[in-house]
Amino acid sequence: MARLDDYLDRLLSRGRYHFSRDEAFASSGLTPAALSAALARATKRRRVLSPRHGFYIILRPEDWVAGAPDPVRWIDALMRHQRLAYRISLLRAAAFHGASHQASMVFQVVVPRQLRPIEIGRHRLQFVFQSPAVFAKTNRPEWLGRIKSDAGFATVAGVELTLFDSTRYLRKASGLSGVAQIVLDIGAQAKPRNLRALAPHHEGATVRRLGYLLDQLGHARQARALEGFVQDQKNFVPLNPGQVAAWRRGARAPKVDARWKIVVNDAIEVAR
pLDDT given at position 203: 94
pLDDT given at position 152: 83
pTM recorded for the entire structure: 0.92
Which residues does 23 contact at the CB level (< 8 Å), separation at least 6?
none
CA distance 84 to 198: 22
CA distance 208 to 69: 38
Nearest to 263 by CA among 227, 237, 225: 237
- For the chain, 272 residues long, give each residue's pLDDT as a single digit of tens: 568 999 999 999 988 899 999 999 998 888 999 999 999 999 999 999 999 999 999 998 888 888 889 999 999 999 999 999 999 999 999 999 999 765 667 999 999 999 999 999 899 999 999 999 999 999 999 999 999 988 789 999 999 999 999 999 999 999 999 999 999 999 999 999 999 999 999 999 999 999 999 999 999 999 999 999 998 888 999 999 887 655 555 556 678 999 999 999 888 989 88
* DSSP conformational letter for 202: S
CATH of the structural domain 2-65, one choice from 1.10.3470, 3.40.190, 1.10.10, 3.90.660: 1.10.10
pLDDT given at position 73: 92
Helices (H), 115-260: 132-138, 159-168, 175-186, 192-198, 204-216, 220-227, 244-249
Which residues does 47 contact at the CB level (< 8 Å), separation at least 6?
5, 8, 58, 59
Angle at which helix 220-227 crosses helix 204-216, to 10 degrees, equals 150
- For the chain, the structural domain boundaries read 2-65, 72-264
Residue 142's Cβ-count burial label (10 Å; 0-12, 13-18, 19+) is exposed
pLDDT given at position 233: 83
Residue 72's Cβ-count burial label (10 Å; 0-12, 13-18, 19+) is buried
DSSP β-bridge partners for residue 155: 146
